[in-house]
Amino acid sequence: MDLRSRRFRTGLLLGTAFAAGIAAGPVTGLLARHGMLPFGIDAALAQDAGAASNNRAETYRLLTLFGDVFERVRAEYVTPVDDKDLIENAINGMLTGLDPHSSYMNAKAFRDMQVQTKGEFGGLGIEVTQENGYIKVVSPIDDTPAARAGVKAGDLITALDGKTVQGLSLNDAVDRMRGPPNSKITLTIKREGVDKPIDLSMNREVIKIQVIKSRMLSDNIGYVRLTQFTEQADSGLRKAVAALKQQAGGHLTALILDLRNDPGGLLDQAVAVAGDFIDQGEIVSTRARHTEDSQRWDAKGNDIIPGVPLIALINGGSASSSEIVAGALQDHRRAVLLGTRSFGKGSVQTVIPLPGNGAMRLTTARYYTPSGRSIQGLGITPDVPVAFSREEPLRFGAEREADLNHVLTNEGGTPQQALPPRTDLPPIAKQIPNKPPEGFPAFDPAKPDATDFQLQQAIVLAKAMAEQKRASAN
């Protein structure tokens, strides 16, 4: 039985016990009355049946303490509190205290997560951020309600259906813009250079998250950006590469795979994407608490661009599934990694459905690259280090996994130095500067070829790798 199905069934069994009211146990009447223990004291302690009696007594004491705190908060907190909120907060505290990636999701949060991983939802088709209390449009997605209605990058959304967005969090504003397909919504826009507010009405549609962006660069070098690992990642990548190959007349000289700022996503999609460039051998393995739950995934012999030089761009925002792909490509010497050290999230989370339509995200395994490296807290070091800008950007909050609280330890893997240095790089790789020169322009998303220094160096390296391949073939 695989890890996912075993955990899922466990969740269902525990939920059944709770629904049936099996919550006995000599702790306090309070716990039994309020259903504080979803699977019962006896079930919780059954795992420790062979433990010493003093351990059992200590567990009972702590559970009683929890019940006492719960009762005191209900009775004496400055305003009345909802039992459901208290219990959900307690569950979330229990999980978030384990590591940065375990957490509780109520029914709404669980639905939002499913929408995110599925990659489509009812909405307007705009990427947004928050600025000075308003919602700022980063860019409208082509052929969506927002684009057709005339929403432009840089617009400030000041109201939704006549109600101001000030005071709303970004997530709340996004929730209000999403909704059932064919439902109407009016956005009030403040646009630079226009004195009066602009009202734009549109109907929501099913929006598919654009996880793949691709284009052809000079000398038939293909470029594919993967923004996150949703259910469409692998199929979208294959379509993009096929289109680039056709555009190059079947003679794609090199491919640049951009994984920068890709936070990850689904493990199976990471395995599939890595397998698109690796013929054979291991892609990733996971090691869980129980040996029988450990797994290994191998390539299926389907390199979609066999022999074509491949460069993968990574940075501190490349995490989780991105690092699985980058690690596999690096270990197999299938791609040259260029950029900066990745985030360092080397753990696997299993989503376990719970009663009431919520779920918990629980860290259940560590993953390891084909050479046996654990990147947990360390990240992946690029083969060719190149900074995005000359000056280190100001950071607010955690920059990498190692900066987080309760971070999982790195253990069980081979030393990072076990991977031998590369000897297959063209000579120019040693001449590539590790940061932009003085006076290099600030990045402009409208002019990436002229202002993206890492991409520029990837193109230089790609041309050299293509030339090296042609020379060796003659």
**Among 373, 412, 345, which residue's Cα sits nearest to residue 100?**
345
Residue 210: alpha-carbon gap to chain centroid: 15
* Arithmetic mean of pLDDT, 84-102: 89
Supply the DSSP string of 433-469, one letter for each residue.
-SSPPTTPPPP-TTSHHHH-HHHHHHHHHHHHHHHHH
| pLDDT, average across residues 367-394 | 88
Does the pLDDT at position 155 exceed 80? yes
Whether 7 has a pLDDT exceeding 70, the answer reads no
Per-position DSSP letters for 304-329, written without gaps between them: SSTT--EEEEE-TT--THHHHHHHHH
- Where is average pLDDT lowest: 111-125, 179-193, 423-437? 111-125
Catalytic residue among 258, 331, 383, 452: 331
For residues 427 and 5, which has the higher predicted lDDT (pLDDT)?
Answer: 427
Q: Which of 182, 149, 176 is nearest to 161 (CA)?
A: 176
Q: What is the pLDDT of residue 108?
A: 81
CB atoms within 10 A of CB 135: 24
Spatial separation of the C-alpha atoms in residues 26 and 65, rounded to whole Å: 13
Pairing of strands 254-258, 221-226: parallel
User: Does the structure show a pLDDT above 80 at 383?
Assistant: yes
Q: Which residue has the higher pLDDT, 407 or 135?
A: 135
Please confirm, yes or no, whether 142 is among the known catalytic residues: no
- Between CA 369 and CA 286 the distance in angstroms is 9
Q: How confident is the model at residue 472 (pLDDT cuts 50, 70, 90)?
A: confident
State residue 401's pLDDT score.
83
**Secondary-structure class of domain 212-473 per CATH:** alpha beta
For range 76-87, the mean pLDDT: 93
Other beta carbons within 10 angstroms of residue 332's beta carbon come to 20
Question: Do 120-208 and 212-473 come out as alike in CATH topology?
Answer: no
pLDDT at 51: 52
Q: Which of 99, 214, 345, 463 is catalytic?
A: 345
Instruction: Mark whether 342 is an active-site residue.
Output: no
* Amino acid of residue 466: A
Concatenate the DSSP letters of all residues of 212-258 into one string: EEEEE-GGGEEEEEE--B-TTHHHHHHHHHHHHHHHTTT---EEEEE
Give the separation between CA 339 and CA 382, rounded to whole angstroms.
6
> For 126-140, what is each residue's pLDDT tens digit?
878 777 778 888 778
3-state secondary structure of 173: helix
Query: Does residue 179 register a pLDDT over 90?
Result: no
> Could you state, in order of their start, the residue ranges of all structural domains in the chain?
3-114, 120-208, 212-473
Structure tokens at 366: 């560590």
CATH superfamily to which 120-208 belongs: PDZ domain (2.30.42.10)
Query: Is 214 an active-site residue?
Result: no
With beta carbons less than 8 A apart as the criterion, state whether 373 and 422 touch. no
Higher pLDDT, 381 or 403: 381
